[in-house]
Amino acid sequence: MTKLRGIAASDGIATAKAYMLVQPDLSFSKSTISDSEKEINRLHNALQASTSDLETIRKIAAESLGEEEAQVFDAHMMILADPEFTGAIEGKINDDKVNAEQALKEVADLFVATFEAMTDNAYMQERAADIKDVTKRVLSHLLGVTLPNPALIDEEVIVIAHDLTPSDTAQLNGKFVKAFVTDIGGRTSHSAIMARSLEIPAIVGTENITTSVKAGEQVIVDGINGDVIINPTDADIAEYDKKAQAFAEQKAEWEKLKNEKSVTKDGKTFTVAANIGTPKDLDGVIDNGAEAIGLYRTEFLYMDSSELPSEDDQFEAYKTVLEGMAGKPVVVRTMDIGGDKKLPYLPLPEEMNPFLGYRAVRISLDRDDIFRTQLRALLRASNYGKLRIMFPMIATVAEFRQAKGILEEEKAKLLADGQTVSDDLQVGMMVEIPASAVLADQFAKEVDFFSIGTNDLIQYTMAADRMNERVSYLYQPYNPAILRLIKNVIDASHKEGKWTGMCGEAAGDSVMAPLLVGMGLDEFSMSATSVLRVRSLMKRLDTTQLTDLVETAINVNTSNEENQKLVEDFMQNL
């Protein structure tokens, strides 16, 4: 038995065999060949084997993920069947007398470079990405190594990876993938957030899981504490079975609060809302009894698509969510691309610090063609529910005014076209940059509401990358520096008669909740699976006892741990 510790990223306990989602070594050397025919035969066998892989993957992907997601594999098969591509490789083998691996690489590099140079043609740029993918597959067959195919998983497994991008995570089939564990990443990296919406346990930032476990070994993942047990003993299995059962019983207890209000012992009411990434997450929101959607991360709509989503496609998605919530508020955040979220068809410049770079509203204000399409879709959808629009990563009042100005222009155009827009539409902003938290009093005069994004606010305030496990000790939600910023935002909004929500992961944190209730945060928005836990915790609180707790916490001497203990002791003595 070996035990590793990482960062607990998604609750729950799972036991299954390890599935290594690790890229094999595809390096090779160039060699001169004498028998071209034999080499071309090798190439044909590799092409055929690749096509047959893709046929299987496509079939399974269509069943488990849907027809649309499966279509990417059609594009891959078309490349393998394209005589221009395969003919060029054969030509190189014949003319240059090089091995098939080298001929494939040279031809693929040429195609990729040509397509990538078409910077104003998103479709061709995406074909470049397809060629890279297909080439990897053919190369793996030439070299006789196996590529991992997560779409082919058809038995219960625990996925082990160095890192998972949000799009890798989106492809995991929750029916078979019981949990995942990665070497790198933090609790607020987007793959961790998605694990919580898929409701599978996850541990990130173990540093060395990929070198500590082998394919097929049995693994227990304890997503509550962040422990991974490799090759457990019978005693370990029995212990974790018990823990899993206790967790299930606790969940059943929380279930009873599903249709209740979020109210404290002394009768103060709060809103407990859920965060979503796609309309598919609506079921989880409703199953967990959330009272609103406090954050719809619309960038996943852009990431799930092979080109910029059209106004109508976006309108349909927003309408589905608003109708699905049947009049309950829905806070939609405009596109937040950049940082760890990339679009294959909208290449962003390589940057030294992507989280400090060209991101979110900065892209929207720069590419207002993309922004306007999204705003029009939102304004049209506003007729179907209670829509609140917010802009991410606002640093200055000027940015907010500019974004809101564009929204007003699009609204005026729609009205002039005879379309309708809801009267009950609020426009707010995320507070996730320290500058806007400090100057919340100025912003509060301009906005209808704030939503505090602690995932970014903490990383920027503490200068600790949210994705980097080495500095995760500095990721301190209870640090008085963070608590004072949060309190400043809430107080500033209330002074202007506005409301403040929180949609960062801290909103669902059990230690944070008593402090936030004490500060009068209006809306708590979190992974849907945390809603009932937080509602149950609120029932135990008496707000009249929380003023002193908050006062002590914002004045402790910079210590995150001291505040954690302060709140834990407080809760224990209730």
Catalytic residue numbers read 190, 503
CB nearer Mg ion, residue 228 or residue 431: 431
329 forms beta bridges with 386
223 scored as a contact of ligand PEP (CB under 6 A)? no
> How far is Cα 562 from Cα 542, in angstroms, rounded to an integer?
22
Residue 47 binds which of Mg ion, ligand PEP, none (CB < 5-8 A, kind-dependent) = none
> How far is Cα 169 from Cα 174, in angstroms, rounded to an integer?
10
Q: How far is the CB of 62 from Mg ion (least distance, A)?
A: 33
Q: How far is the CB of 298 from ligand PEP (least distance, A)?
A: 10
456 scored as a contact of Mg ion (CB under 5 A)? yes
CB nearer ligand PEP, residue 158 or residue 273: 273
Binding mask 102-131 for Mg ion (x = CB under 5 A): ------------------------------
Residue 509 binds which of Mg ion, ligand PEP, none (CB < 5-8 A, kind-dependent) = none
Member of 126, 281, 336, 410 binding ligand PEP (CB under 6 A):
336
Member of 504, 514, 518, 520 binding ligand PEP (CB under 6 A):
504
CB nearer ligand PEP, residue 291 or residue 432: 432
Q: Do the Cβ atoms of 170 and 194 come closer than 8 Å?
A: yes
**Element of type H or E holding 412:** helix 397-416
Q: How far is the CB of 283 from ligand PEP (least distance, A)?
A: 21
15 scored as a contact of ligand PEP (CB under 6 A)? no
39 scored as a contact of Mg ion (CB under 5 A)? no
**DSSP code for 473:** G
- The first and second tokens of residue 215, run together, are 């394919």
Task: Choose one: 113-121, 276-284, 453-461, 553-561; the region binding ligand PEP (CB under 6 A).
Answer: 453-461
Q: How far is the CB of 186 from ligand PEP (least distance, A)?
A: 11
Q: Do the Cβ atoms of 476 and 484 come closer than 8 Å?
A: no
Residue tagged 């107080």 (tokens): 491
Number of chain positions touching ligand PEP (CB under 6 A) = 11
465 scored as a contact of Mg ion (CB under 5 A)? no
Show the CA angle centred on residue 200, arms to residues 195 and 202, nearest 5°.
65
Q: How far is the CB of 456 from ligand PEP (least distance, A)?
A: 3
Binding mask 252-291 for ligand PEP (x = CB under 6 A): ----------------------------------------
> How far is Cα 282 from Cα 274, in angstroms, rounded to an integer?
9
Q: Do the Cβ atoms of 290 and 523 come closer than 8 Å?
A: no
Strand ranges in 206-316 using DSSP code E only, listed in sequence order: 218-222, 227-230, 262-263, 269-276, 293-297
Task: Choose one: 119-127, 291-299, 424-432, 464-472; the region binding Mg ion (CB under 5 A).
Answer: 424-432
Member of 92, 297, 319, 498 binding ligand PEP (CB under 6 A):
297
Q: How far is the CB of 545 from Mg ion (least distance, A)?
A: 32
**How far, in Å, are 185, 188, 285, 300, 369 from residue 191 at the CA level?**
8, 8, 19, 12, 29
CB nearer Mg ion, residue 295 or residue 519: 295
Member of 15, 314, 374, 454 binding ligand PEP (CB under 6 A):
454
455 scored as a contact of ligand PEP (CB under 6 A)? yes
Member of 503, 519, 531, 537 binding ligand PEP (CB under 6 A):
503
453 scored as a contact of Mg ion (CB under 5 A)? yes
Q: How far is the CB of 476 from Mg ion (least distance, A)?
A: 17
**Element of type H or E holding 533:** helix 531-539
206 scored as a contact of ligand PEP (CB under 6 A)? no
Q: Do the Cβ atoms of 21 and 148 come closer than 8 Å?
A: yes
Binding mask 138-177 for Mg ion (x = CB under 5 A): ----------------------------------------
222 scored as a contact of Mg ion (CB under 5 A)? no
Q: Do the Cβ atoms of 136 and 24 come closer than 8 Å?
A: no
432 scored as a contact of Mg ion (CB under 5 A)? yes
Task: Choose one: 72-80, 218-226, 452-460, 558-566; the region binding ligand PEP (CB under 6 A).
Answer: 452-460
**DSSP code for 23:** P
CB nearer ligand PEP, residue 12 or residue 504: 504
CB nearer ligand PEP, residue 227 or residue 505: 505
Q: Do the Cβ atoms of 100 and 43 come closer than 8 Å?
A: yes
**How far, in Å, are 129, 169, 334, 473 from residue 348 at the CA level?**
14, 21, 18, 30
**How far, in Å, are 267, 461, 519 from residue 494 at the CA level?**
20, 23, 11
> How far is Cα 188 from Cα 68, in angstroms, rounded to an integer?
28
140 scored as a contact of ligand PEP (CB under 6 A)? no
Show the CA angle centred on residue 490, arms to residues 486 and 492, nearest 5°.
115
Listing DSSP states for 138-191 in one string gives: HHHHHHT-PPP-GGG--S-EEEEES---HHHHHH--TTTEEEEEESS--TTSHH
453 scored as a contact of ligand PEP (CB under 6 A)? yes
Q: How far is the CB of 93 from Mg ion (least distance, A)?
A: 50
Residues whose CB falls within 8 Å of the CB of residue 504, separated by 6 or more in sequence, listed in order: 188, 432, 452, 453, 454, 455, 456, 457, 458
520 scored as a contact of ligand PEP (CB under 6 A)? no
CB nearer ligand PEP, residue 295 or residue 537: 295
Residue 504 binds which of Mg ion, ligand PEP, none (CB < 5-8 A, kind-dependent) = ligand PEP
102 scored as a contact of ligand PEP (CB under 6 A)? no
* Residue 10 main-chain phi, psi, to 5 deg: -155, 130
Q: Do the Cβ atoms of 74 and 17 come closer than 8 Å?
A: no
Task: Choose one: 33-41, 123-131, 300-308, 447-455; the region binding ligand PEP (CB under 6 A).
Answer: 447-455
> How far is Cα 484 from Cα 479, in angstroms, rounded to an integer?
9
Residue 454 binds which of Mg ion, ligand PEP, none (CB < 5-8 A, kind-dependent) = ligand PEP
Work out the end-to-end distance of the chain between its first and last CA atoms, rounded to an integer number of angstroms.
40
Residues at the contact surface with Mg ion, assessed by CB under 5 A = 432, 453, 456
Q: Please give the residue ranges that form the binding site for ligand PEP (CB under 6 A).
A: 188, 295, 297, 336, 432, 453-456, 503-504
